[in-house]
Structure 1
Amino acid sequence: MNPRRVTRPWLAISALCTGLFMILLDNTIVNIAVPSMMSDLGTGLDQILWIVNGYTLAYAVPLILAGRLGDRFGRKRLYVVGLVVFTLASALCGLSDTGGELIAARAAQGVGGALMTPQTLAFITVLFPPEKRGAAFGAWSGVAGVSTIAGPLLGGLIVEKLSWEWIFFVNVPVGVIGLVLALLVVPESRNASTQRLDPLGIVLVSTGLFAVIYALQEGSHYDWGVIAGPLSVPVLLVAGVVLVAAFLLVQQRSPEPMVPLTLSADRNFSIANVVATAVGFGMVALLPVTLFLQDVLGLSALECGLVTAPASVCAAMIAPFAGFRADRTGGKYLLVTGLLAFCAGIGGSALLAAPNMRVWLIVPAVIVLGVAMGLLFSTMTTVALRDVRPELSGAASAVFNTTRQLGQALGTAAVGALLQAALRTSTHREAATAAESLPVSVREQFVDSFTAVSADSPARTVDAPAGLPTSLSAQWHQLGVGVFGHGFVTAMRWTLLLPIALLLIAAACSFGLRRTRKASRTVSPDTARLTETSHRPAE
C-alpha cells in the first residue's frame, strides 16, 4: 500500500468532498430552473415536480443499503460506482428532450448520490482517530452546508446566463475530476467480518422508506386522500411505518444486521439523530423565506441567491472551527447554541418580513442562519459518528443521513401544508377588508379569487379578470398585490412557529449528551489495515 495514501487523509477527504458537493447541490439547484424546464420541455407542473421529488426519493431510500454495501464490498468501490452513475446521469439530464426522460435521469442521479454519501462519512471514521475526527467532520459539514444553500445562487446564475441544461452539464467535468482524485488518493476500506447481506431486511427497509417518503412528498398532491382505489396517503404512510418497525424487529434477531442495534444504545448517536431530524425539518423553513423574497418582494432567482449567499459564507467559515471545538468540548453547548441560533434566524426572518421592505434588512437574519448551520452540521455529525467503530461506520453514516432526509421530507409535507392553509385564511381575511374599497358588484368576486390562492403562483389571484374597465382592473391588481403580500407574511409567521418548536425540542434533548470519552488507544482491524505503513493516521 502506498504510504502517502495513509499519511494524507486530508487529501482523501478533499477528493471525497468533491463528489459530496455535487450530490447535495443537486438537491436544491433544480428548483430555480423549474419555470425554464416547464417552458422548454412542454410539461405540466406535476411532472416537473417529480423531477425534484424523484431525485429526493431515489436518493433517500437506498442510503441504508448503500452503507451496508460499502462495508461489505469496499467503500471506495461503492463511492466510485456511485460517482460514475451520478456523472453519466447528469449528462443524460442535460440531454433530455422530454419530462419523462429527465425524471428517469434524475432518479439515476439520486441512486448514484445514495451510493456515495455514506462512504464519505464512513471514510472519516476510518482515516482519522476519534480525537481528530471533529475537524474532518467540520470540513465535510462545511461542504454540505454550503452546497445546500448555494444551490439557488448557482442555479439562478446558470439559468440566467446559460440555460437550465447547464445545471446538469457542469457536473460532468467536476465528476471526472472527482473520479480521478478518488482513484489516486482514496484508499480502499471495508469491513472484513461482513459476510452476507440480509435480503428480508433490504426489502423491508427499502419498501418502508419508499412508502413513508412518497406519502410525505405526494400527500398534498392527493389532498392527503385517495391515491388509487383502496390506496390512500394515510394507508401508505401507516404501511411504511409498519414496514420500518418490522425491519427493526428483524434486525434484533439477525446475526448480522444491516443496522446494528448497538448504535441505538449509544446515547450521543441517538440524540444526534434527533437533532439531524429537526435540522432537516428546519431547513425546509427556508422555503417560505425564499418564496417571500421572490413572490412578495419580486426578486429574481439570481437576486434571491445573492441575498442568501452570506449564509453560505458563514457556514463554510464556521463549520471546521465548530468540528474542531466539538472534539475538545464534546459538542453539547455548540449544538444548543446552533439550534437556538437557527430558531433566532428563522424567527428573525419572520419578524422582519414585510411587504415593500428594503431587502437588505433581512440579511442579518440570513447571517444568523448561516452561523447556525455552520455550528450544527459539523457538530451533530461529530457527535453522531466520532466514537463509532470503523467497522460500523457505513451503517452509522447511512442511518444518520437517512434520518436527516426523513426530517426534510416530513418538513416539506408539514410546512407546505401549513403554509398553504394559513395563506388561504390570512388572504381571505385581508381580501375581505380590501374589497370594501371596490365597487359592490365585484367585491364578492375579488374575495372569492383568494379562495384557491397558491404560495408559488400569486399572479392567478393578484391579476384582475378580463373584461373589467382599465381603471378598475388597475385598482384590483394594486389591492391584490397588497392582499397577497400581507397575507403571505402573516401565513409565513404562523408556519415558521412549527420548525422553531421542533428545533427547541432538539435543543432540550441536546442537554442529554454525554461528554465524549477520550479516544481509545486500541486500533480496530480495519484501521490497522489502513495504517500499517504509518504510526499516526492523521497529521
Structure 2
Amino acid sequence: MGHEGLPVPRLWFASAAMWIAIALMAIDTTIANVALPVIARELGTTASASVWIVNAYQIAITMALFPCAALGERMGYRLVYQVGLIVFLVGSLGCALSGGLWSLTVARCVQGIGAGGVMAVNGAIVRFTFSKASMGRGIGHNALVIAVATAAGPALAAGILEIAAWPWLFAINLPVGLLSLVIGWRTLPEQRGTVTPFDWRQALLSAAAIGVLALGFARLSHLELGPATFLQIASGTAAFAVMLRSARAQRHPILPVDLLGFRELRLAYLVSALTFAAQMMAMIALPFFLHAQYGFDTATVGLVITPWAIAVGITAFASGRLLENFPLEKLVFVGLVVFAIGLMGIALMPDSASLAALAACSALSGAGFGLFQTPNNRTMLAASPYERSGAAGGMQAAARLVGQTAGAAFAALALHLAGPAARSNILVAVAISSVAALTALFKARKREESRESR
C-alpha cells in the first residue's frame, strides 16, 4: 500500500480526515495568542503568566513527537493518529471547562500531547495515502492546509471572541475533531506494526530531555536569564547526550539518529530548521518593526502580513505540481532565494515606502517560503526507508519546531538588544535564510556529483 497509495474515493475521505485534524492542530498553535489578554483578565492572572498557556501546548507537542513516531512504527500509524486526535479532543474539552490558569495550562498540555501524536505520524500517513507518483501533490496539499490554518487562527479567534466567551475557542474543536475521527475511522491507511519492542525507558528519557530543553529555551525567548533557565538547558543537553549515545546502539531508536546517517536527510533537516528559524524570527519582529518604523496600527500590520500567508498557501500547492517537471533541489534553492529577497526588500524599504510595496515584498517572501516547503518536505519523507516512515515524519516535525523555537529566541534577543524599530532584526532573518539557501545549494551540488559518479 505504501507505494500504490489508496484507491479513489477512499483517498478523498482519508485526505479529508487527515487535513481536518492537522488543520485543528495548526489553528490551535495560534488561536490562543490573540485571546491571551482576554483570558488573563477573566482568569485574574498577569500577562506574563498567561504566556504559558501558549508555551505548554508547544512544549507538550515537542515532548510527544519522537515517542509517538516510534509507537506509530510499532503499532500502526492510523491507531496512533486517532488516539492522538482523541487525546487532543479531551484536552480541548478540559480547556473549555477550565476555571483557572493552572487547570487551563494542564489541559493545554494534554492538547499538546495529542497534537504531538497526530503531527508525529502525519508525514507517514501522507506517504501511505498517496502513490509515489502523486506524493508531491499530497505534500503540497498538506502544506497548504497547514499554512492556511495557521494564518486563519488569529482571525478565527477574533471572530469567536466577538460573539462568544473564550472557552469557545477550544470547544469548537470538539464537533470538528469528531467529524475527522468518524471519517478517518475506516478510510485512513493501516499498516501492521513491527515486532520491535517499544523502549519505554528511552521514550521517557526522550520526552524529558526534549521537554526540559524546550522549557529552557522558552524561558530564554522571554528573556528569563536567571540560573534556572540555564540549569534547564544544561540538564536537558546532558540528558540528550546520554540518549544519543544509547540510540546509536539500537537499530530503530526512539530518537531516530539512524536517519542522520543519510546525508540527503541531514541537509534537508538543517535547511528546514534554518528556514523555519528565519520565518519565525521575521514573523515576530515584523509587526514590531512596522509599528515602530511606519506607525502602522494592528489592522494595517495585518494587511502587510496577510499576503505572506496567502502566497505561502498558493506556492506550496503549486510546487507539488512543479515537482513533476523540475528537480526538487532547484525548487528548494530558488524558493529560499526568493524568501530572502522578499525579507530584504522589507528591511531596506525607505521610510516613505507605501503599504502596497511592503505588502508586495511580504507576498514575495511568502511565495519563496511556500516554494521551498513542499520539495524539502518531499525529501524528508521520501528519502527515508519505508519502515522508518514514522521516524521520518517525527524528524520533519521536529526540524520545524526546533527552527521555530530558535527563531523565537533570536527574535526576543534582537528586540531586546536593538529595539523594535531596528532594520537589523529583519536582516538577521535574511542572513539565516541565506545560510539555508547556501546549504540547499551545497546539497544540490553533492547530489549532482553522486549522479555523475554512477
Matched with 1:533 is none
Larger radius of gyration: 1
Matched with 2:382 is 386
* 2:333 is aligned with 1:333: no
Matched with 1:202 is 203
Alignment of 1:27-176 (within 5 A): 27-176=29-178
Contact 2:332 2:373 in 1 (8 A): no
Contact 1:138 1:323 in 2 (8 A): yes
Whole-angstrom distance in 1 between the partners of 2:326 and 2:181: 36
Alignment of 1:447-526 (within 5 A): 488-490=420-422, 493-511=423-441, 512-513=443-444, 514=447
Partner of 2:156, secondary structure, is: helix
Rate the CA distance shift 1:373–1:194 in 2: closer, same or farther, 3 A: farther
Partner of 1:507, secondary structure, is: helix
Bigger proportion of residues as helix: 2
Partner of 1:352, secondary structure, is: coil
Whole-angstrom distance in 2 between the partners of 1:516 and 1:393: 27
Residue deviations 1:417-464, cap 9 Å, x none? 1211211xxxxxxxxxxxxxxxxxxxxxxxxxxxxxxxxxxxxxxxxx
Contact 1:279 1:407 in 2 (8 A): yes
Which residue, out of 337, 344, 347, partners 1:350?
347
Rate the CA distance shift 1:34–1:327 in 2: closer, same or farther, 3 A: same
Residue deviations 1:275-301, cap 9 Å, x none? 11012212222012123456763534x
Whole-angstrom distance in 2 between the partners of 1:412 and 1:497: 15
Whole-angstrom distance in 1 between the partners of 2:290 and 2:174: 31
Normalised by the size of structure 1, how large is the TM-score?
Answer: 0.76
Which AA in structure 2 matches 1:351? L
Rate the CA distance shift 1:256–1:109 in 2: closer, same or farther, 3 A: same
Partner of 1:28, secondary structure, is: helix
Contact 2:347 2:427 in 1 (8 A): no
1:91, distance to aligned residue in structure 2 (A): 2.7
Alignment of 1:269-348 (within 5 A): 269-284=265-280, 285-293=282-290, 297-300=295-298, 304-348=301-345
Matched with 1:461 is none
* 2:247 is aligned with 1:251: yes
Rate the CA distance shift 1:402–1:64 in 2: closer, same or farther, 3 A: same
* 2:193 is aligned with 1:263: no
Which AA in structure 2 matches 1:397? G
Which residue, out of 390, 401, 407, partners 1:411?
407
Q: Percent of counterpart pairs with the same letter?
A: 27
Contact 1:153 1:306 in 2 (8 A): no
1:223, distance to aligned residue in structure 2 (A): 3.5
Alignment of 1:179-258 (within 5 A): 179-191=181-193, 193-221=194-222, 223-227=224-228, 233-258=229-254
Rate the CA distance shift 1:327–1:357 in 2: closer, same or farther, 3 A: closer
1:194, distance to aligned residue in structure 2 (A): 3.7
1:90, distance to aligned residue in structure 2 (A): 1.7
Whole-angstrom distance in 1 between the partners of 2:76 and 2:391: 13
Whole-angstrom distance in 2 between the partners of 1:163 and 1:149: 21
Gaps of at least 5 residues in structure 1 are: 228-232, 424-487, 519-539
Residue deviations 1:280-329, cap 9 Å, x none? 212222012123456763534x6644543322322222212212323543
Whole-angstrom distance in 1 between the partners of 2:195 and 2:373: 30
Rate the CA distance shift 1:351–1:172 in 2: closer, same or farther, 3 A: farther
Which AA in structure 2 matches 1:26? D
Whole-angstrom distance in 1 between the partners of 2:395 and 2:304: 33
Partner of 1:197, secondary structure, is: coil
Whole-angstrom distance in 2 between the partners of 1:338 and 1:32: 30
1:107, distance to aligned residue in structure 2 (A): 1.0
Residue deviations 1:154-184, cap 9 Å, x none? 2333334444333222222211111111113
Contact 1:155 1:167 in 2 (8 A): yes
Contact 1:87 1:171 in 2 (8 A): yes
1:214, distance to aligned residue in structure 2 (A): 0.9
Rate the CA distance shift 1:152–1:345 in 2: closer, same or farther, 3 A: farther
Which AA in structure 2 matches 1:289? L
1:27, distance to aligned residue in structure 2 (A): 1.1
Which residue, out of 395, 414, 421, partners 2:417?
421
Which AA in structure 2 matches 1:315? V
Q: How many residues align?
A: 443
Whole-angstrom distance in 1 between the partners of 2:225 and 2:156: 34
Rate the CA distance shift 1:368–1:161 in 2: closer, same or farther, 3 A: farther
Which AA in structure 2 matches 1:16? M
Residue deviations 1:40-72, cap 9 Å, x none? 111112220100111110111110111011111
* 2:367 is aligned with 1:367: no
Rate the CA distance shift 1:269–1:9 in 2: closer, same or farther, 3 A: farther
Residue deviations 1:102-127, cap 9 Å, x none? 11111111111001012221012223
Gaps of at least 5 residues in structure 2 are: none
Contact 1:149 1:311 in 2 (8 A): no
Contact 2:5 2:128 in 1 (8 A): no
Normalised by the size of structure 2, how large is the TM-score?
Answer: 0.90
Which AA in structure 2 matches 1:48? S
1:204, distance to aligned residue in structure 2 (A): 2.9
Partner of 1:182, secondary structure, is: helix
1:92, distance to aligned residue in structure 2 (A): 2.4
Partner of 2:260, secondary structure, is: coil
Which residue, out of 397, 402, 421, partners 2:398?
402
Whole-angstrom distance in 1 between the partners of 2:313 and 2:50: 31
1:345, distance to aligned residue in structure 2 (A): 2.5
